[in-house]
Amino acid sequence: MARTPRPPESGVPARFAQFGLSPYTNPAQNLLLSDAISNPAVAPYLNGYVPYAGYSTANTVLNALRAFPQFSNLTDATSPTGKTWYDALQIKGTKRMSKGLQVNSTFTYSKSLVLTREDIFNTASSGKSIQATDQPYLFTANILYQTQKYFSNRFLSAVTRDFQFGAFLQYGSGLPLTRPPRPR
């Protein structure tokens, strides 16, 4: 049985080079990546390699060479391949009124931009667009009322004072519409 090569730490091109493949520069080898590992045309490169015992030979060469071949659709949603910009004007106000009433409010005017790329390997195709979660206008208000001493009776006064009632209000502009796809 052939020795199973371990995936290198340096990434995908090095993994292909381990098996003598260079799909980035050789179109014929690029086509081999979508063939099943049982295909006779693939045999000279893989030398009977299977990632683990019981792995189906009906799977593709590309899937067999992945770091986790049992999962064919892993993606990195938090890949640090972009940039974001956030600019804002924020105002906060607090008013303590008499008889236990207090109002806190904030207003935010902001703009969130994100780097967009049509081709992730071509930085010249980059541009900025409004982020999908951008909410340019946002106003919040918190109204708080604390009960006072209403009764001269000690027992009634102790039972009814120092309760707090509050309300929170939030008003904001809607989220932006998504950009329609470009025709190809």
Residues 45 and 120 in one domain: no
Asked whether residue 36 is domain-assigned, the answer is yes
For 19, the 3-state DSSP assignment is coil
Strand duo 126-130 + 84-96: pairing:
unpaired
Residues 91 and 167 in one domain: yes
| Structure tokens, 19 | 């098996």
37: domain range? 12-64
Residues 49 and 128 in one domain: no
Residues 94 and 145 in one domain: yes
- Is the pTM higher than 0.75? The answer reads no
Residues 51 and 91 in one domain: no
Asked whether residue 98 is domain-assigned, the answer is yes
Q: Quick one: pLDDT band at residue 127, thresholds 50, 70, 90?
A: confident
pLDDT at 144: 94
The 10s digit of each residue's pLDDT in 20-78 is: 888 888 888 888 888 888 888 888 888 888 888 888 888 888 888 888 888 766 666 65
Asked whether residue 134 is domain-assigned, the answer is yes
Residues 103 and 40 in one domain: no
CB 150 within 8 A of CB 178: no
Asked whether residue 109 is domain-assigned, the answer is yes
The 10s digit of each residue's pLDDT in 76-108 is: 665 656 688 899 999 999 998 888 899 999 999
pLDDT at 8: 41
d(CA 172, CA 174): 6
Contacts of 70 (CB under 8 A, 6+ apart): 51, 52, 55
Number of domains in the chain: 2
Residue 11 has pLDDT above 90, yes or no: no
143/2: higher pLDDT: 143
Q: How many contiguous H segments (helices) and E segments (strands) does the chain have?
A: 5, 5
For residue 75, which amino acid is it?
Answer: T
Asked whether residue 76 is domain-assigned, the answer is no
Short-list 123, 125, 103, 128, CA closest to 113: 128
Residues 51 and 99 in one domain: no
15/119: higher pLDDT: 15
168/119: higher pLDDT: 168
Asked whether residue 181 is domain-assigned, the answer is no
Short-list 54, 35, 72, CA closest to 46: 35
Asked whether residue 78 is domain-assigned, the answer is no
Residues 44 and 100 in one domain: no
